[in-house]
């Protein structure tokens, strides 16, 4: 903790310096853009230091850390100066700009990327979408949680044309959120960032695992919560929540009376005995008073594993048989629980200190098909949070879609386009 206090003391001076000198720096950047040479042709030598003016986007720094708080404070100073100098230009969104294109709109794109720090002013202004611009666009996309393909499509344009004042406000909103989580979180913990649809497993102040996630739909939101992961269930049964019975299963049974049988879902009465679906009137919602339980197996909604932790929302993390969903750009598809890509890696890490549960034994248990609950000997803290903007280093500022509209500005809900 002494090191962190020293970090903050040094950081306070750095933030002050950023605010005092930033206006001049921002003016210099814009001045450089206006006076830069007409460069950027195909015969230019590629130089990574020209195409990327900031640090690497990828980082092992956790979102919940004192350093992240300092970096977002620094970013607020930088974005305040960008706003004071008039922000950045709007890039016309009528064309699919990509590597090899020569178009007047590329000049505007270059200026936009220079002001946000994704492209060095030394790359110059030209109409060529060259390797410099390609690398800068990919950097911008990575910072915004978009596929880093270098192609300007619908969502890249939308993220790029959010105004500088709105981005500044987003940073200020999220600084408050990050400060609220600046206490002792535990030597090992799991953090689920809902708008990023991403999971961090953190140990000794370093991200050791990152997992792509699928979180709740807008009308079935994943809740904010703090708890401790205390149980892993290998080959779990799935008990359908009443909301899913009403919204999904009953309508599906009306269309296909064999739906439950095809999906190995059983109806259990209050006494635990199985009820024949044919005895239920599916034109009503009477079925919602019963328990719907899906047998373990490949088609189970939670697939191979369920991660439990006490909470009042009946929320948990789990595997999924629908692995293709992880490749979607907007991964807001669940009914509130969190699906985890490569979940077996996370479970192996969680069970590391639980005797008898090596990776090999875990995999063998999955193959057995038997449902086995495993108590974690040292429960691991888990935090479900909502952070849509943060910074992991000088010049590396991350923004994500404000999926649930909690930042208060409609244009930040890019997924609603």
CATH number of 2-175: 1.10.101.10
**226 contact partners, CB below 8 Å, separation of at least 6:** 381, 382, 383, 384
pLDDT of residue 417: 62
pLDDT of residue 416: 67
Alpha-carbon gap, residue 322 to 307, rounded angstroms = 17
pLDDT of residue 333: 80
pLDDT of residue 35: 47
Alpha-carbon gap, residue 128 to 399, rounded angstroms = 27
* Residue 201 · residue 208 · CB < 8 Å: yes
Residue 151 is encoded by which pair of tokens? 């192609």
Q: Please list the rounded mean pLDDT of every run of 10 residues in the chain (417 residues).
A: 39 42 48 45 37 64 93 96 97 92 96 96 94 96 93 93 97 96 89 96 96 92 97 92 90 94 92 93 92 87 92 93 76 88 96 94 93 95 97 89 91 74
pLDDT of residue 31: 53
Pick the CATH number of 187-385 from 2.40.440.10, 3.30.70.3040, 3.40.50.1100, 2.60.40.10: 2.40.440.10
pLDDT of residue 38: 44
Residue 313 designated active-site: no
- The total of other beta-carbon atoms located within 10 Å of residue 93's CB is 16
Residue ranges covered by each domain of the chain:
2-175, 187-385
Query: What are the backbone angles phi and psi of residue 294, rounded to the nearest 5°?
Result: -95, 135
Distances in Å between the Cα of 151 and the Cα atoms of 136, 160, 288, 340, 380 are 11, 12, 47, 28, 40
Identified catalytic residue from 60, 211, 313, 318: 318
Q: Could you tell me which of 167, 161, 199, 148 has the C-alpha nearest to residue 329?
A: 148
Identified catalytic residue from 60, 337, 361, 398: 337
Residue 72 is encoded by which pair of tokens? 């977002």
Indicate the SS3 state at residue 218.
coil
**318 contact partners, CB below 8 Å, separation of at least 6:** 236, 301, 302, 303, 305, 306, 307, 337, 338, 339, 340, 343
Residue 174 is encoded by which pair of tokens? 């999220």
Residue 60 designated active-site: no
Indicate the SS3 state at residue 397.
strand
Predicted structure pTM score: 0.81
The helix or strand, by DSSP H or E, that contains position 73, with its residue range, turns out to be: helix 66-84
* Residue 99 · residue 150 · CB < 8 Å: yes
């Amino acid at each position: 903790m002494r090191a962190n206090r020293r970090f903050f003391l040094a950081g306070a001076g750095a933030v002050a310096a950023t605010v005092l000198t930033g206006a001049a720096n921002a003016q210099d950047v814009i001045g450089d853009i206006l006076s830069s040479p007409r460069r950027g042709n195909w015969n230019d030598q590629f130089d990574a230091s020209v195409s990327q003016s900031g640090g690497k986007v990828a980082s092992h720094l956790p979102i919940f850390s004192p350093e992240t708080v300092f970096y977002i404070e620094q970013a607020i100073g930088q974005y305040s100066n960008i706003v004071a100098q008039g922000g950045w230009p709007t890039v016309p969104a009528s064309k699919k700009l990509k590597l090899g294109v020569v178009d007047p709109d590329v000049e505007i794109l270059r200026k936009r990327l220079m002001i946000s720090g994704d492209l060095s002013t030394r790359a110059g202004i030209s109409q060529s979408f060259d390797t410099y611009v390609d690398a800068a666009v990919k950097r911008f996309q990575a910072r915004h949680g978009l596929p880093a393909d270098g192609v300007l499509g619908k969502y890249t344009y939308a993220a790029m044309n959010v105004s500088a004042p709105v981005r500044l406000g987003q940073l200020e909103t999220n600084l408050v959120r990050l400060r609220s989580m600046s206490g002792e979180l535990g030597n090992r913990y799991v953090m689920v960032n809902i708008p990023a649809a991403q999971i961090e497993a953190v140990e000794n102040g370093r991200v050791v695992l990152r997992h792509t996630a699928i979180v709740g739909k807008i009308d079935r939101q994943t809740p904010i919560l703090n708890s401790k992961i205390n149980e892993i269930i290998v080959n779990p049964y799935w008990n359908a929540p009443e909301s899913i019975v009403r919204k999904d299963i009953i309508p599906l049974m009306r269309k296909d009376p064999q739906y439950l049988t095809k999906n190995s879902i059983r109806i259990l009465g209050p006494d635990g005995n199985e009820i024949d679906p044919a005895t239920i009137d599916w034109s009503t919602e009477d079925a919602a008073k019963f328990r719907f339980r899906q047998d373990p197996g490949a088609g189970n909604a939670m697939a191979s594993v369920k991660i439990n932790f006490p909470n009042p929302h009946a929320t948990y993390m789990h595997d999924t048989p629908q692995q293709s969903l992880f490749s979607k750009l907007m991964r807001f598809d669940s009914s509130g629980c969190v699906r985890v890509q490569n979940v077996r890696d996370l479970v192996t890490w969680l069970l590391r200190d639980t005797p008898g549960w090596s990776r090999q034994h875990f995999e063998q248990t999955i193959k057995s098909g038997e449902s086995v609950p495993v108590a974690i000997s040292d429960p691991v803290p888990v935090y479900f949070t909502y952070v849509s903007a943060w910074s992991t280093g000088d010049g590396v500022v991350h923004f994500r879609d404000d999926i649930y509209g909690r930042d208060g500005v409609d244009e930040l809900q890019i997924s609603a386009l």
